[in-house]
Amino acid sequence: MSHKILIVEDNENNRCLFRDILSFHGYQISVAADGQEGVALARELQPDLILMDIQMPGMDGMTAAGILKKDPLTSGLKIVAVTSFAMRGDKEKIMAAGFEGYLSKPISTRELPGLVKRWLEDHL
């Protein structure tokens, strides 16, 4: 059985790119266009991994992840931040918020499947 991955990303091109790459590698992919939709889908689908964009209109990724981490139904879900924030201290701030990983944009399409595999294995 393949792992379920939820991609929460407001940029349609990024959503399609991540979905296509990870689907090719055998993962079951669901997508959400914003944090609110991401929270709803995470509760419904209980994915093995969530790739969560941090900067989105409406509900941002930090808020969405905080909601999921505080909810007993979803508190154990693995969430990896996907962000263009690359300033000193950003990674530490994101990891302190409860994310299991951090991926900075632009994302290497060659490295993404290996990183996802590692996050799934390291945190099972």
Q: What are the tens digits of pLDDT across the range 4-18? A: 999 999 999 999 999
Q: How confident is the model at residue 47 (pLDDT cuts 50, 70, 90)?
A: very high
Enumerate the domain spans of the chain.
Answer: 4-122
Domain at 4-122: CATH code: 3.40.50.2300
Q: How far from the centroid of its chain's Cα atoms is residue 121's Cα?
A: 16
Q: Is the whole-model pTM more than 0.85?
A: yes
Q: What are the tens digits of pLDDT across the range 76-124? A: 999 999 988 666 777 888 888 889 988 888 888 899 999 999 989 875 4
42-63 mean pLDDT: 95
Q: What is the predicted pLDDT for the residue at 105?
A: 84
Q: What is the predicted pLDDT for the residue at 104?
A: 85
